[in-house]
Amino acid sequence: MRGMSSRTFLAVLCGASSAVLLAGAAARRQAPAYDLLLRNARIVDGTGSPWFRGDVAVRGDTIAAIAPRIDGSATRVVDAAGEIAAPGFIDIHTHARRGIFEVPTAPNYVRQGVTTVMEGPDGSSPVPLAPFLEKLNGLPTSLNIGSFIGQGSIRAEVIGEADRKATPDEIQRMVRLAEQGMRDGAFGLSTGLFYVPGTFTPTSEVIELARAVARFGGMHESHQRDDAARVLDSVDETIEIGEKGGLPTQISHHKVIGRANWGRSVETLRLVDEARARGVDVTIDQYPYTASSTSIAAALLPASALEGGRQQTLARLKDPAARATIKAASVALIRDERGGGDPRNVQLASCGFDASLAGKTLADVTRQRGLEPTLENAAETTMWIVEQGGCQGIFHAMSDEDLERIIRHPATMIASDGEVPIYGRANPHPRSYGTFARVLGVYVRDKKLLTLEDAIRKMAAFPAARLGLVDRGVLRPGMKADVVVFDPSRVRDTATYEKPHQYAEGFSCVIVNGQVVFDGTAMSTARPGRVLYGPGKTR
């Protein structure tokens, strides 16, 4: 202050402060208004409403604005160039834990627009669930993931793989495990009543677990007991579990298997309509293929042969009388159900004991063993495969007419039933790479069975509502910024049964939680995926 009056000093000080404030204001003016701005899109918001032209602005992980034109600046601008912008697709039924830890980017899903996958289907999940979800939390993923708690896994934990009724005490132990699964973050209860040990479960026992899950706001989804001759009884059972359990219930990967049963989707859908009319919240998911995939043992051996686990199965196969009984049942399953009436309709997807068998048919392997591919010899080969350690299979035994009737139904959403393959390894079902692209390319564009808007509703808002994901599934300000951009004239699945390791085409941008994870040519380094938790999660 020496040589400067106090008044002069204050003037200088105030001037300096003003300069700082002005500089700060200028910096704020120059800072981008948004982190990401998607321009020039045809927006399909996920609700089923007609598309409209507009821009989508993202701030952080959230949609900040949607308008015909947004003039604010952004750190990154993506020009959609008139392509479709839609909510990221939500796959409510996957086996993503097969591969997610090896391939956490899950490009097979992301590159077809999937931004969220659900795990723990078909009655199979980790028990307890918390350690699995904690491990996922430490995994840098490109998409979001949640899980169900599996009834079959719970039953195996309490009474093993025995074919018997549970005692009242055992049921209470299972109820407690189901409740803990919900507290850990499950979205509901999955059942695999086709599989051991779920197939040994009385409906009344499942309903007890369903009631427990209902108290936490969860849902039920089921791989039904039977999709062939007893498909109507199975649909009735799935409906009964929801009706008596007091919770939403879903028929997983709905299908009708076996030529003698083709056309019964007319009746299964009638049962769904009648249940909904009387107030039962029953829905459906479906993949757009006429081939299913599961283990050779589950598909082509009777459940009685698998009771008690592998060692007991092997013992039965060594007993001549038991083997003859199992063989007769296997012949019937190949002839009438998942075998599609011909060993050529069964394709091996992966075999741990011999990788070279992947892609070959049951007829091929039967010939390789020096036998003619008759039904009886194919049954022998089936038992041999199980003895060697087992294989995953693909089973061509469904009709296009049933598939198309089911996909058009308003209560049907889309789900892949896929996994996260290691690219180039084995011969997985193409649904893991192509489900959502196939719906858009084949059933929207080519066959015109669905409108674009309704197909996206079945892939986004509908599964989000079913799961209770209130901040995903719709493009709207305040929602999480999971967005997919694609060209409806080019979108298509390229994966085939013979060459499944091929990515979908026509997708130019996929955004997860506000970050671009796929730019139309390559996966990015961003890993914004999150573990999602169900309604009963204890925080």
Please list the residues that pair with 37 across neighbouring strands: 57, 77
Closest CA to 268 of 135, 97, 383, 412: 412
Angle between helices 168-184 and 151-159 in degrees, nearest 10? 130
Which pLDDT score is estimated for 10?
Answer: 39
pLDDT(326) > 70: yes
Which pLDDT score is estimated for 11?
Answer: 45
pLDDT(466) > 90: yes
- The string of DSSP codes covering 173-185 is HHHHHHHHHHHHT
Which residues have a Cβ under 8 Å from the Cβ of 224 and sit 6 or more positions away? 193, 194, 231, 234, 235, 237, 238, 251, 252
pLDDT(16) > 60: no
C-alpha–C-alpha distance, residues 386 and 295, integer Å: 9
Mean pLDDT, the chain, whole residue set: 95
The half-sphere exposure of 289 on its side-chain side, counting CA atoms within 13 A, is 26
Q: How many CB atoms lie within 10 A of CB 92?
A: 28
Cα dihedral sign for 100, 104, 106, 110? positive
Q: What is the mean pLDDT of residues 71-96?
A: 98
Q: What is the mean pLDDT of residues 453-466?
A: 98
Q: Give start and end residues of each alpha helix (H) in 389-441.
A: 400-408, 431-438
What digits encode the pLDDT tens for the residues 117-132?
999 999 999 999 999 9
Give all strands of the β-sheet with 114-119 in edge-to-edge order: 89-91, 114-119, 144-147
What digits encode the pLDDT tens for the residues 484-501?
999 999 999 999 999 999
Q: What is the mean pLDDT of residues 206-222?
A: 98
CA distances from 309 to 31, 161, 441 (A): 63, 6, 42
Q: Indicate the SS3 state at residue 356.
A: helix
Which pLDDT score is estimated for 31?
Answer: 87
Query: Residue 432 corresponds to which tokens in the numbers above?
Result: 């893991």
Which pLDDT score is estimated for 166?
Answer: 98
Cis preceding-peptide flag for 197 (omega within 30 of 0): yes
Contact 431, 108 (CB under 8 A): no
Cα dihedral sign for 209, 214, 216, 220? positive
Query: Residue 176 corresponds to which tokens in the numbers above?
Result: 């407690």
Which pLDDT score is estimated for 24?
Answer: 52
Which pLDDT score is estimated for 30?
Answer: 74
Which pLDDT score is estimated for 15?
Answer: 52
Of the pLDDT bands very low, low, confident and very high (cuts 50, 70, 90), residue 420 is very high
C-alpha–C-alpha distance, residues 337 and 381, integer Å: 17
C-alpha–C-alpha distance, residues 499 and 434, integer Å: 12
Which pLDDT score is estimated for 14?
Answer: 44
C-alpha–C-alpha distance, residues 241 and 203, integer Å: 7
C-alpha–C-alpha distance, residues 463 and 347, integer Å: 31
What digits encode the pLDDT tens for the residues 351-380?
999 999 999 999 999 999 999 999 999 999
What digits encode the pLDDT tens for the residues 286-311?
999 999 999 999 999 999 999 999 99
C-alpha–C-alpha distance, residues 44 and 53, integer Å: 9
pLDDT(2) > 50: no
Which pLDDT score is estimated for 9?
Answer: 43
Closest CA to 217 of 469, 464, 536, 438: 536
pLDDT(384) > 70: yes
Q: Taking the chain, what is the end-to-end CA distance rounded to the nearest angstrom?
A: 59
Which pLDDT score is estimated for 109?
Answer: 98
Which pLDDT score is estimated for 25?
Answer: 53
The structure's pTM equals: 0.94
Would you give the DSSP letter of residue 55?
E
Q: What does residue 394 show for φ and ψ, rounded to 5 degrees?
A: -120, 130
What digits encode the pLDDT tens for the residues 237-253?
999 999 999 999 999 99
Q: What is the mean pLDDT of residues 228-235?
A: 98
What digits encode the pLDDT tens for the residues 421-442?
999 999 999 999 999 999 999 9
Which residues have a Cβ under 8 Å from the Cβ of 170 and sit 6 or more positions away? 158, 159
Q: What is the mean pLDDT of residues 385-396?
A: 98
Q: What percentage of the chain reaches a pLDDT higher than 70? A: 94
